[in-house]
C-alpha cells in the first residue's frame, strides 16, 4: 500500500515540474528515486516538504559514477534519503532525490535551509568526494586527519597505497 | 522518596572571559571522541564535536573485497551488536539477487539479533552507571552479560564477532545439548544472586529449556536493577530534567532509535518495515513523553524486557528445515542494480545503499549508522547546560564513536 | 635509579636511626653498587643522556670524572624492587577501538584481574604504569598516543592487544588511514594476539609481562 502512495507522489512531482527537469528510477520493493536537474533541487525539496510532509533527511550519499559499465559517465551523483515521521502511511518507506554533478567542478546548493538534519552528512560528502555545497554554515573536514593532502579518497582514481 | 522538580538551567552569560578546552580523546568519560567546549563560568556556550579518531575507511575498503569476505569488516563498527550491523547488508543483497530465505533461518537470525541487542544494552547501562559513580551497576551488568554471551557462543561459535549471517541464510544450526559444566555454573550463580535454588525443570541440558531458564533469570535480575540503580538517588538526582529534547526538535534533527522513542514518537523499524521473523511475533514498542535523560534510560530498560519476550516466542515457534539456501562458494556474483535496505540495530535504524556492477565486488557500499545521526542532538542539548551535565547527556544518547566514524 | 637520589655511598650521615644504620651499612647494598667510569671521549653524550642510567658527577681531589652507578646482577634489592613493580600494575585508560569491549568484560568478576594487582584506575596518566593499547590506531590518533606515552613517568611498559595493534590486522592492506602496527611509534613489550582476544589470552599476556618485569635488569 505504501509503495502505491509513493508511486502517486512521484507522478505528482513529475506532473508539476515537467518531464525535462525530473526523471525517475522506480523498482518496486527496491528503490524509488527522482533525479532532478541541479538548479531546481531547492524548489523540488521545498515542494516535497510542504505539500507531502517529508520532514527529515536520513542521510546523504555520494557516488562516483565514472567507472560504472552501464549508465555511468563523468558524473558524481549526490542522493538524499528522505523520510517522514508525522505521516503514518509514509513511515514505512524512503524516497530518494538525487542530482548529477560534473566531475570536474562539482558544486550544488545546500539543503540546510530546508532540512537542518543534513549538516554533518553534507560535510562528510565534501570530505570524502570533494563536492562543494553553497550555503552550508560550516563546510570543513570532519573525518579525515588534519594533514590530509591527497585527493578525496572515495573517488575512483584514488588508489589505496597497500594494493597498487 | 519524593524528589523536587529542578528548574530549567538557562544560559547565564556573564559577559566575562571565555575559556575553550578540549574534552579530549583520552578521557575515561567519553572514549575516543573529542569535543571542543567553550564555557563562560560554569555554563557551556558552544560545543563542537570532533569525530574521526577511529575512521578506518570501511566504505573504500568494501570495494576491494568480495561480497562474502566483506562481512567481518562490516561487523566491526558496532562490535557489541554485530548482528544488527550485518542484517541489513544481507537483506539488501538478497533484494538484489531476488531470493527468499527458508523459515528456520529467519527464526535463528531473529534469536541471535535479540541476544546481541540485550548484550549491547547491558553494556550501555554498565558504562552509564560507572561514569555517574555507581560501580556496582558496572559489575552486575557485565557479569550477567556473560551468560547471554555464552548462549550466543553455543549457537554461533564466538562471543560477539561471530560473522554468522550470509546472504541466503545463516552459517550453522542451533545445538541440541548444553554442556554439563555450564549448567552447573548457571545453577551456582542463580542461587547466589536470586537467593533460592532454581527448580529442577530449569536445570535440564536441553537447549531450548536452557534458553528459557536464562530468560527467566534475566527478568528477575531486571527487577533488582530497578531497585538498585534506576530508583536510587545517585542516579535520579543527576538525570531528571536534564537534556530535554522536545518532539518537534527530535523530528527536525532526524535522531534515530531510543532517543526518538523517548521524545514521544512511536517508530521502530521492526514494526514499520518488518523483516525476518518479526511479522509472526507479538511485542510492543516502549514510548515515553518527557524526553530527558531518565526517559531514555527507561526506554532502554523496557526494550530489554521486550527482547526477552521475543526470544521466548521464537524458541517455541521455530520450525524444522534447512538453514541456508545452498552452499555458497566464497565468490558470488550479484546482478546489476541498486537497492536500499534497513534494519533496527541496538541504537537505532541502519540504512544500507548498495550499487552493484554485475561483478564479484560491490561498486559502492554506503552505510548510514545511527550514531552519526545523533551528532546534531548532542550539540543541541549541551548548549546551555553545565559542565557536570555532559556525562549524563552523552551517555544517555548511547553514542558509540566507532560506529559514527566507521 | 632508585638509590641515586639518596646517594648512600658517598654521604652517610653520622647519626642515623636504627633503620638507616642497618640500611646504610648493609654489606649487600654497598657491594651491590658497582661504579663504572666513563671515558673522556664519551663524556658529552653521557651528559646529555637522561633516563634511568644517569651519570653522576664525582669530584675527588681536584679531579672531576663521571661514573655510572649500576646494581650488580644478582642481588636482593633487584628482586624486591622488581617484585614491587610487577605486583601492582595500574593501567592507563585509553580506549582505542573494538577491543575495548573485551577489556571491559575482563574487568568483571568472572575473570577477576584484581587478584593480580591490576586495578583499573580511571585516574590520571601520571599515576599509571602500563599503557594498554586496545585495537586499531588511526593516523589521527597516533599523534595523541605518542603524547600520552611521553607523559607517563618511568618505569612504564606497553601491551599491544589485538591483531590491529600488532600489525594492522584486518585493515592491513586496504585502508588509507590505519597505522600498520604499533612498533612504529612506541616500544612494545608484550603482544597479545586475537581479534578480539579472549579474556584468557589477555591474562596470559599479563602473566608474561609480570615474568618479564621480575627478571629484568634494574637500571
Q: What are B329's three cell numbers?
A: 562458494
More confident residue, A19 or C30: A19
Residues A161, C176: C-beta atoms closer than 8 Å: yes
Rounded to an integer, the average pLDDT of A56-84 is: 88
Residue C182, C-beta contacts closer than 8 angstroms, at least 6 positions apart: C133, C137, C145, C158, C160, C165, C166, C188
The minimal CB distance from C140 to the residues A145, A161, A163 is found for A145
pLDDT number for residue A2: 76
Spell out the residues 6+ positions from residue B43 whose beta carbon is closer than 8 angstroms to its own: B9, B11, B12, B13, B384, B385, B386
* Helix intervals (H) in C33-179: 43-48, 76-86, 99-106, 139-151, 163-167
Residue C180 reports pLDDT greater than 90: no
What span, in angstroms and rounded, lies between the C-alpha atoms of B264 and B299?
11
How many secondary structure helices (H) and strands (E) does chain C include?
A: 8, 7
Instruction: Delimit the domains of chain A by residue range.
Output: 2-106
Asked if B25 has any chain A CB less than 8 Å from its own CB, the reply is no
Chain C neighbours (≥3 Cβ pairs under 8 A) are: A, B
Put residue B127 in one of left, alpha, beta given phi > 0 → left and psi -120 to 50 → alpha. Answer: alpha
Which residues of chain A are within 8 Å of residue B52 when distances are taken between CB atoms? 142-145
3-class secondary-structure state, position C14: coil
Report residue B86's pLDDT band, with 50, 70 and 90 as the boundaries: very high
Greatest extent of chain C over all pairs of C-alpha atoms, in Å:
70
Asked if C167 has any chain A CB less than 8 Å from its own CB, the reply is no
pTM above 0.90, yes or no: no
Three-class DSSP category at A45? helix
pLDDT score recorded for residue A121: 92
Kindly state the cell numbers that stand for A64: 562516483
**pLDDT of B218 higher than 70:** yes
Selected residue with higher pLDDT from C2 and C177:
C177
Put simply, whether B145 touches C (Cβ < 8 Å) is yes
Chain A residues inside the 8 Å CB shell of C174: 160, 162-163
Domain A2-106: which topology? Beta Polymerase; domain 2 (3.30.460)
pLDDT in tens, B126-148: 989 888 888 888 899 999 999 89
Q: How many CB atoms lie within 10 A of CB A103?
A: 18
Contact assessment for residue C205 and residue C159, using Cβ atoms and an 8 Å cutoff: yes
Phi then psi for residue B396, to 5 deg, are -75, -20
Instruction: Give yes or no for residue C36 having a pLDDT over 70.
Output: no
Q: How far apart are CA C89 and CA C212, in angstroms?
A: 13
Euclidean distance between CA atoms B54 and B405, whole angstroms: 6
Comparing alpha-carbon positions, the chain B residue that sits nearest to C123 is: B28
C81: helix, strand or coil: helix
Sign, Cα dihedral of A87, A88, A92, A93: negative
Mean pLDDT of C102-113: 86
In the structure, what pLDDT confidence band is assigned to residue C38 with cuts at 50, 70 and 90? low
| Length of chain C, in residues | 219
Residue B6 lies in a domain: no
Strands (DSSP E) found in chain A: 22-27, 31-36, 56-64, 75-83, 95-102, 107-109, 132-134
Query: In terms of C-beta density within 10 A (0-12 exposed, 13-18 middle, 19 or more buried), how is residue C163 classed?
Result: buried
Burial of A112 (0-12, 13-18, 19+ CB in 10 A): middle
Look up cell 534497513; give the residue: B342
Residue B338 neighbours by CB distance under 10 Å: 21
The verdict on residue B26 lying in a domain is: yes
Question: What CATH code is carried by the domain that includes residue B125?
Answer: 1.10.645.10
Choose, out of A6, A49, A68, the residue to mutate when testing the contact with B (most B CBs < 10 Å). A68
Residues 258-277 of B with CB under 8 A from A: 260, 265, 267, 272-273
Over range B357-383, report the average pLDDT.
Answer: 90
Residue C101 in 3-state DSSP? helix
Place of cell 571542543: B36
What is residue A148's predicted lDDT score, i.e. its pLDDT? 87
Interface with C, mutate which of A128, A143, A162 (most C CBs under 10 A): A162
Query: What pLDDT does residue B4 have?
Result: 31
Task: Specify the pLDDT at position C132.
Answer: 87
- pLDDT of B208 > 60? The answer is yes
pLDDT at residue C9 in the model = 46
Judge whether residue A108 has pLDDT over 50. yes
- Assigned C-alpha cell, B291: 524526553
CB contact, 8 Å: B193 with chain C?
no
HSE toward the beta carbon, residue B93, CA cutoff 13 A = 26
Judged against a pLDDT cut of 60, whether residue C54 lies above it is answered with: no
**Subunit partners of chain A (3 or more CB pairs within 8 A):** B, C
C-alpha cell recorded at residue B297: 534510560
Query: If you average pLDDT over residues B197-216, what whole number do you get?
Result: 82
> What strands, in cross-sheet order, belong to the sheet with A75-83?
A22-27, A31-36, A95-102, A75-83, A56-64
Residue with cell 545503499: B353
Q: How many domains does chain B have?
A: 1
Share of chain C above pLDDT 90, in %: 5
Only one residue has cell 559514477, namely A65
Task: Determine, for residues B253 and A56 on separate chains, whether the beta-carbon distance falls below 8 Å.
Answer: yes
DSSP secondary structure letter of residue A98 = E
For residue B1, is it within any domain?
A: no
Give C51's pLDDT tier (boundaries 50, 70, 90).
very low
Query: At the topology level of CATH, where does C85-214 sit?
Result: Rossmann fold (3.40.50)
What is the three-state SS of chain B?
A: CCCCCCCCCCCCCCCCCCEEEEECCCCCCCCCCEEEEEEECCEEEEEEEECCCCCCCHHHHHHHCCCCCCHHHHHCCCHHHHHHHHHHHHHHHHHHHCCCCCHHHHHHHHHHHHHHHHHHHHHHHHHHHHCCCCHHHHHHHHHHHHHHHHHHHHHHCCCCCCCCEECCEECCCCCCECCHHHHHHHHHHHHHHHCCCCCHHHHCCEHHHHHHHHHHHHHHHHHHHHHHHHCCHHHHHHHCCCCCCCHHHHHHHCCCHHHHHCCCCCCCHHHHCCCCCHHHCCCCCCCCCCCCHHHHHHHHHHHHHHHHHHHHHHHHHCCCCCCECCCCCCCCCCCCEEEEEEEECCCCEEEEEEEECCCCCCCEEEEECCCHHHHHHHHHHHCCCEHHHHHHHHHHCCCCHHHHHC
Note the pLDDT tens digit of each residue in B303-343.
999 999 999 999 998 888 888 887 666 678 888 888 999 99
End-to-end Cα, chain B, rounded Å = 44
CB contact under 8 A, A145 and C138: yes
Tell me the C-alpha to C-alpha distance, in Å, between residue B296 and each of B35, B117, B256, C190: 22, 16, 12, 41
pLDDT at position C23 over 50: no
Task: Give me the domain span that covers residue B336.
Answer: 19-405
Domain boundaries, chain C: 18-74, 85-214
Is residue C217 helix, strand or coil? coil
Residue B171 exposed, middle or buried by CB count within 10 Å (0-12, 13-18, 19+): middle
Amino acid at each position: 500500500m505504501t509503495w502505491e502512495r509513493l508511486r502517486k507522489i512521484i507522478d505528482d512531482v513529475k506532473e508539476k515540474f515537467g518531464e525535462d527537469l525530473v526523471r525517475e528510477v522506480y523498482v518496486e520493493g527496491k528503490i524509488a528515486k527522482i533525479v532532478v536537474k541541479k538548479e531546481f533541487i531547492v524548489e523540488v525539496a521545498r515542494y516535497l516538504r510542504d505539500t507531502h510532509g517529508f520532514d527529515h533527511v536520513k542521510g546523504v550519499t555520494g557516488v562516483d559514477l565514472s567507472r560504472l559499465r552501464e549508465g555511468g559517465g563523468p558524473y558524481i551523483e549526490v542522493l538524499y534519503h528522505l523520510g517522514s515521521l508525522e505521516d503514518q502511511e509514509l513511515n514505512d518507506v524512503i524516497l530518494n532525490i538525487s542530482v548529477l554533478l560534473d566531475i570536474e567542478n562539482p558544486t550544488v546548493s545546500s539543503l540546510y535551509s530546508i532540512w537542518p538534519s543534513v549538516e554533518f552528512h553534507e560535510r562528510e560528502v565534501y570530505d570524502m568526494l570533494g563536492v562543494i555545497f553553497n550555503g552550508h554554515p560550516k563546510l570543513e573536514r570532519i573525518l579525515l586527519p588534519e594533514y590530509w593532502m591527497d585527493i578525496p579518497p572515495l573517488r575512483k582514481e584514488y588508489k589505496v597505497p597497500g594494493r597498487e | 522518596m519524593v524528589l523536587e522538580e529542578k528548574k530549567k538551567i538557562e544560559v547565564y552569560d556573564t559577559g566575562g572571559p571565555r575559556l575553550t578546552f578540549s574534552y579530549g580523546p583520552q578521557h575515561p568519560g567519553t572514549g575516543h571522541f573529542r569535543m571542543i567546549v567553550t564555557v563562560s563560568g560554569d555554563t557551556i556556550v558552544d560545543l563542537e564535536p570532533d569525530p574521526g579518531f577511529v575512521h578506518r575507511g570501511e566504505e573504500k575498503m568494501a570495494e576491494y573485497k568480495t561480497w562474502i569476505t566483506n562481512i567481518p569488516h562490516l561487523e566491526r563498527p558496532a562490535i557489541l551488536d554485530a548482528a544488527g550491523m550485518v542484517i541489513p547488508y544481507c537483506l539488501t543483497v538478497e533484494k538484489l539477487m531476488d531470493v527468499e530465505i527458508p523459515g528456520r533461518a529467519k527464526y535463528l537470525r531473529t534469536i541471535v539479533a535479540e541476544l546481541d541487542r540485550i548484550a549491547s544494552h547491558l553494556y550501555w547501562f554498565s558504562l552509564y552507571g560507572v561514569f555517574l559513580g555507581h560501580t556496582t551497576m558496572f559489575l552486575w551488568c557485565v557479569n550477567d552479560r556473560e551468560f547471554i554471551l555464552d548462549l550466543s557462543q553455543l549457537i554461533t561459535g564466538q562471543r560477539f564477532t561471530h560473522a554468522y549471517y550470509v546472504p541466503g541464510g545463516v552459517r550453522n544450526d542451533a545445538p541440541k545439548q548444553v554442556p554439563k559444566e555450564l549448567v552447573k555454573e548457571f545453577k551456582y550463580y542463580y542461587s547466589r544472586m536470586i537467593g533460592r535454588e532454581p527448580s529442577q525443570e530449569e536445570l535440564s541440558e536441553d537447549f531450548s529449556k536452557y534458553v528459557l531458564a536464562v530468560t527467566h533469570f534475566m527478568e528477575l535480575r531486571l527487577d533488582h536493577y530497578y531497585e538498585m540503580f534506576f530508583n536510587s538517588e545517585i542516579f535520579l538526582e543527576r538525570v531528571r530534567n536534564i537534556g530535554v529534547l522536545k518532539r518537534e526538535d527530535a523530528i527536525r534533527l532526524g535522531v534515530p532509535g531510543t532517543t526518538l522513542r523517548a521524545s514521544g514518537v512511536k517508530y521502530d523499524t521492526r514494526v514499520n518495515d518488518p523483516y525476518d521473523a518479526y511479522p509472526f511475533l507479538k511485542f510492543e514498542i516502549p514510548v515515553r513523553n518527557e524526553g530527558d535523560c531518565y526517559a531514555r534510560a527507561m526506554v532502554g530498560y523496557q526494550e530489554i524486557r521486550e527482547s526477552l519476550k521475543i526470544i521466548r516466542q521464537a524458541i517455541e515457534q521455530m520450525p524444522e528445515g534447512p538453514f541456508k539456501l545452498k552452499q555458497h562458494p566464497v565468490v558470488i556474483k550479484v546482478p546489476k542494480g541498486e537497492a536500499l535496505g534497513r534494519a533496527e540495530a541496538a541504537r537505532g535504524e541502519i540504512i544500507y545503499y548498495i550499487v552493484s556492477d554485475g561483478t564479484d565486488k560491490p561498486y559502492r557500499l554506503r552505510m548510514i549508522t545511527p550514531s552519526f545521526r545523533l551528532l546534531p542532538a548532542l550539540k543541541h542539548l549541551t548548549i546551555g547546560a553545565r559542565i557536570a551535565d555532559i556525562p549524563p547527556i552523552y551517555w544517555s544518547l548511547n553514542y558509540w564513536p566507532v560506529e559514527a566514524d566507521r | 635509579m632508585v638509590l641515586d637520589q639518596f646517594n648512600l655511598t658517598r654521604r652517610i650521615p653520622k647519626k642515623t636511626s636504627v633503620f638507616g644504620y642497618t640500611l646504610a651499612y648493609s654489606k649487600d647494598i654497598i657491594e651491590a653498587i658497582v661504579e663504572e667510569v666513563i671515558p673522556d671521549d664519551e663524556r658529552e653524550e653521557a651528559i646529555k643522556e637522561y633516563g634511568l642510567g644517569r651519570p653522576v658527577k664525582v669530584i675527588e681531589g681536584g679531579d672531576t670524572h663521571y661514573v655510572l652507578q649500576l646494581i650488580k646482577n644478582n642481588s636482593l634489592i633487584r628482586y624486591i624492587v622488581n617484585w614491587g613493580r610487577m605486583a601492582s600494575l595500574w593501567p592507563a585508560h585509553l580506549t582505542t577501538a573494538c577491543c575495548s569491549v573485551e577489556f571491559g568484560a575482563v574487568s568483571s568478576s568472572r575473570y577477576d584481574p584484581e587478584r593480580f594487582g591490576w586495578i583499573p584506575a580511571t585516574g590520571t596518566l601520571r599515576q599509571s604504569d602500563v599503557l594498554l593499547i586496545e585495537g586499531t590506531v588511526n593516523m589521527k590518533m597516533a599523534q595523541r598516543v605518542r603524547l600520552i606515552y611521553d607523559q607517563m613517568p618511568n618505569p612504564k611498559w606497553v601491551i599491544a592487544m589485538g591483531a590491529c595493534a600488532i600489525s594492522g590486522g584486518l585493515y592491513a592492506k586496504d585502508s588509507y588511514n590505519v597505522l600498520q602496527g604499533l612498533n612504529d611509534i612506541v616500544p612494545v613489550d608484550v603482544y597479545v594476539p586475537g581479534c578480539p582476544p579472549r579474556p584468557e589470552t589477555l591474562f596470559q599476556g599479563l602473566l608474561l609481562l609480570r615474568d618479564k618485569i621480575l627478571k629484568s635488569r634494574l637500571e
